[in-house]
Amino acid sequence: MDINIRPKPYLLFNAFHLIFIIFSIQVGVGLPGFQRIIVMESGHDAWISVIVAGIAAHLVVMVMIATLNRYGSADLYGIHQDIFGKWLGSIINTVFIAYLVLSTTVVFRAYIEIVQVWLFPELPVWSMAIFGGLLAIYAVLGGIRVVVGVSVLSVLFTLWMIFLLYFPIQYAEWKSLLPIFDTSTLDILKGAYKMSFTLAGFEILYYIYPYVKEKEKTSLFTHLGLLATNLLNLIIMVVSLVYFSEGQLLKTIWATLSMFKIIQLPFMERFEIIAISLWMLVILPNAILPLWAATRGMKRVFGFKQKYSLHGIVIIIFIAQMLLKTRDQVNMFFDWFSNKGFYLVFIYPFILYVLVLVVQKMRQKRGLASNETKAPSNKSSN
Partner 1 sequence: MRRKLLQTKVQIKIIIFIFTSFIMFLLTGCAERTNLEDLGLQTAIGFDLQNDGKVLGTSVLHHFKYLGKSPSQVLVAKADTVKGFRQAMNLKTSKKLVSGQIRIALYGEETAKKGLIRFMDSISRDPKIGTMLFLAVAKGTANDILSYPYKDIENIGLYINETLEQNINGEQIVSSTLHEVINDYHTDGQDFVLPYLIREKDKVNIEGLAIFQMDKMIGTMKPREGFYLKILRDRFDAGELELVLPSKELKKSVKGIEIPKKININIDNIRSTSKIELVNKEKPEFDINIKLTLNIQEISEEIDLNKPETMKILTKLINEAFEKESNTLIRKLQLLQTDPIGLGCLYNHSIRDKKLTSEKWYPLYKNAKINVHFHTKIMGAGVMD
Burial classification of residue 87, based on how many CB atoms lie within 10 Å of its CB (0-12 exposed, 13-18 middle, 19 or more buried): exposed
Bridge partners of 151, per DSSP, are: none
Phi-psi domain of 214 (left: phi exceeds 0; alpha: psi -120 through 50; beta: other)? beta
Pair 211, 12: CB distance under 8 Å: yes
CA nearest neighbour of 31 among 198, 243, 277? 198
Angle between helix axes 272-297 and 125-141 (nearest 10 degrees) is: 50
Q: Contact, 118 vs 257, CB < 8 A?
A: yes
Find the shortest distance in angstroms from Cβ 91 to partner 1: 38
Contact between 20 and 199 (Cβ < 8 Å): no
- Shortest distance, CB of residue 269 to partner 1, whole angstroms? 4
What is residue 236's three-state secondary structure?
A: helix
CB of 181 to partner 1, least distance (A): 9
Of 36 and 80, nearer to partner 1 (C-beta) is: 36
Residue 74 has phi, psi (to 5 degrees) of -100, 160
Task: Closer to partner 1 by CB, 261 or 340: give it.
Answer: 261
Report the nearest approach of partner 1 to the CB of residue 131 (Å).
Answer: 8
CB closer to partner 1, 120 vs 343? 120
Q: Select 261 or 363, whichever has its Cβ closest to partner 1.
A: 261
Q: How far is the CB of 122 from partner 1 (least distance, A)?
A: 7
Q: How many whole angstroms separate alpha carbon 52 and alpha carbon 37? A: 15
Q: Which is nearer to partner 1, 26 or 183 (CB)?
A: 183
Distance CA 42, CA 186 (A): 9
Q: How far is the CB of 175 from partner 1 (least distance, A)?
A: 5
In sequence order, which residues have a C-beta less than 8 Å from that of residue 134 and are 6 or more positions away?
Answer: none
Residues engaged in binding partner 1 (CB under 8 A): 117-120, 122-123, 127, 131, 134, 171, 173, 175-176, 178-179, 182, 243-248, 251, 258, 261-264, 269-270, 272
Residue number with CB closer to partner 1 (87 or 181): 181
When the beta carbons of 96 and 254 are compared against partner 1, the nearer one is 254
- Residue 138 Cβ, how far from partner 1 at the closest point, in Å? 9
How large is the C-alpha radius of gyration of the chain? 21
Residue 117 or 164 with smaller CB distance to partner 1: 117
User: Least distance to partner 1 from the beta carbon of 25, Å?
Assistant: 26
Nearer to partner 1, 248 or 331 (CB): 248
CB within 8 A of 233, min separation 6: which ones? Answer: 31, 34, 50, 54, 195, 198, 199
Side-chain-side CA neighbours of 68 within 13 Å: the count stands at 27
C-alpha distances out from residue 162 to 51, 155, 235, 256, 322, Å:
19, 11, 9, 11, 33
We find the least distance from the C-beta atom of residue 12 to partner 1, in angstroms, to be 26
